[in-house]
Structure 1
């Protein structure tokens, strides 16, 4: 019996099997999938908390409308700006959650981007206006805003909205376009090769006129106010909250701008896009955190809020916020008023015996 085994055919086949053809690992799937999970959840939480907080704030301001102060008007403008941002969050959440991306057309794309930018500019410029008023009133004893002449305050707030609208013009370049890299439709800036200069100009305007200069002025004003007045008023936590939420986004935007100008390798582009998305979401959180800040720091506002939730009538206080905008008399004026009262009292004391 022949027990030999022919192994020639087995060892003759020396070809290699290409496993890469049957198994492909795509590194871009993980970041997109992660964003599709955390972004809608975060936007939904910010939307719910923000609408509840700002809606309650509007209801309390409506009850106090007959005795509004300049501080109430300032809080109202901040509230309106936050609501404008909140109504755009469902669109951004849907874009992050849906594999197809943006499905709301070009008009809503431009409108959502513009409202986001208007909220940012209104927030920082309104804080700057009130901080300058507090600086002049406390450090230089010069009160600009007054209940007797509220026209200057209203003109300042109107100028803030107009300036915010003008600075938001670059968001007209937002379009809903197909991104081959992400295989989906995105709402993003679309600049042609000849319009790359406009992109750089819009970034420079945003970072300098829209953020760096106002932020530096806010820090300077708040520093002088703290040196002169040891008690912390509401304006200082408001400024701190705004900077805490928006500084990371603007730093990331600055890094991305330098990367685009220096034409660095594209390996860092995906990381910067992820950082911009995360810090952008962090900036949006201030729209729901501001009402929580009012509730925690303003005792009169807290009493009004709890009274409204319990359906109990609470007597309206002269000030809900403790900002002191247009409500405090200057030290010299206080001294003069006390002197006049003392003279009047002395005059009455002299006339009493004659009667």
Structure 2
């Protein structure tokens, strides 16, 4: 069915439930349905390959982080190290959900509603836990770099607090996933295609859907961004007052962390804001516009997913101490020659670095 730009305005679903992205599903006047075959075809072309690349890279990077922290027990003596280990675990669990979405983009959701709820909830738990842990890392860096005296005096207490905070982060992330347990299910469209989506109760003005989207935007992006901006701004001010040889390298690391977070999460959250706006007051009235929105939404979501495979490189592999541990681990396994004067190890220790073993530099560059 070809829909021209002069298509009759689109209206939202008025059945028992309100489908997620109701801007992309509904009846035209006269009974014509907006055909989304082009959107599904687009997804089937690029999502499987991209998702598997993210899974492979993310699995390698995050598994190596977990391996290092479990192999070198003395690593978990700093607050940020505890957050990093939990961040890697959260990213690994998140990556386990991507093969399901890759299969969904090719042949639809063939796993049933129970697994739809489980996979959706696992994704949301690890999404929120990752965002909260990134926020905790930025706060810990702020305390250690900007409030150095306080950090040194409370080092032992902070390590204990970090473990308690991680437990609270996981519990809070689980609470934030309750909408997925309530509303996620497998549905069938008019063409016989099954898909895993959120199906909200049809209440006045789509209040349930708007509340869920608003909660995700605020807790999963806005609050972490505000906290990270405050912490890293003050860290940069502190570093600019020092004469450290590695000051500029530290600043580049911080800018990279913030830039990747913003560029990976801002586009998708902007689409969520637009979707919430649509749920409150439908403005998209043309099928082709609906299709373009769906495609843009899928692309932005994929971009946000890439953050899970970039975290190890941003937060762990940039650290000299972490790279030295990787070299030692591979030497222990016989993958690298064991040389006392290894150039790799020398290059990591012959000069001072903001990524050294001190508490202050650990918090800055891990």
RMSD: 3.0
Q: For CA contacts below 8 A with separation 6 or more, give which structure has more relative contact order.
A: 2
Give yes or no for the alignment of 1:118 onto 2:125: yes
- Counterparts in 2 of 1:197 and 1:215: CA distance versus 1, 3 Å: same
- Counterparts in 2 of 1:314 and 1:103: CA distance versus 1, 3 Å: farther
Q: What residue in structure 2 maps to residue 241 of structure 1?
A: 260
Give the alignment partner of residue 328 of structure 1, picking from 336, 343, 360. Answer: 360
1:89 offset after TM fit, Å? 0.7
Secondary structure, aligned partner of 2:195: strand
CA distance in 1 between partners of 2:114 and 2:36 (Å): 29
- Counterparts in 2 of 1:125 and 1:144: CA distance versus 1, 3 Å: farther
Offset from partner CA, 1:134-188 (integer Å, 9 cap, x none):
22333344328955232211112222111111111111210011123x6411100
Q: What residue in structure 1 maps to residue 40 of structure 2?
A: 32
Contact 1:218/1:239 (CA < 8 Å) preserved in 2? yes
Contact 2:320/2:356 (CA < 8 Å) preserved in 1? no
Give yes or no for the alignment of 1:77 onto 2:86: yes
Q: What residue in structure 2 maps to residue 219 of structure 1?
A: 229
Contact 1:39/1:93 (CA < 8 Å) preserved in 2? yes
CA distance in 1 between partners of 2:306 and 2:54 (Å): 6
Q: What residue in structure 1 maps to residue 136 of structure 2?
A: 129
Offset from partner CA, 1:27-51 (integer Å, 9 cap, x none):
7443322210100000111111111
Aligned residues: 299
Q: What residue in structure 1 maps to residue 19 of structure 2?
A: none
Give yes or no for the alignment of 1:208 onto 2:218: yes
Q: What residue in structure 1 maps to residue 202 of structure 2?
A: 193
Q: What residue in structure 2 maps to residue 272 of structure 1?
A: 293
Task: State which drifts further: 272-281 or 74-83.
Answer: 272-281
CA distance in 1 between partners of 2:137 and 2:54 (Å): 26
Q: What residue in structure 2 maps to residue 46 of structure 1?
A: 54
CA distance in 1 between partners of 2:265 and 2:339 (Å): 36
Q: What residue in structure 2 maps to residue 254 of structure 1?
A: 273
- Counterparts in 2 of 1:119 and 1:314: CA distance versus 1, 3 Å: farther
CA distance in 1 between partners of 2:291 and 2:339 (Å): 54
Offset from partner CA, 1:82-123 (integer Å, 9 cap, x none):
00110001100000011xx10111122112111222222112
Give the alignment partner of residue 157 of structure 1, picking from 166, 177, 195. Answer: 166
Structure 1 runs of 4+ aligned residues shifted over 6 Å read: 314-318, 323-326
Structure 2: 5+ residue runs without aligned partners?
A: 1-33, 241-246, 362-366
CA distance in 1 between partners of 2:67 and 2:225 (Å): 31
Secondary structure, aligned partner of 1:255: helix
CA distance in 1 between partners of 2:132 and 2:298 (Å): 24
What's the TM-score once normalised by structure 2's chain length?
0.73
Q: What residue in structure 2 maps to residue 59 of structure 1?
A: 67
Structure 1: 5+ residue runs without aligned partners?
A: 1-25, 330-355
- Counterparts in 2 of 1:208 and 1:66: CA distance versus 1, 3 Å: closer
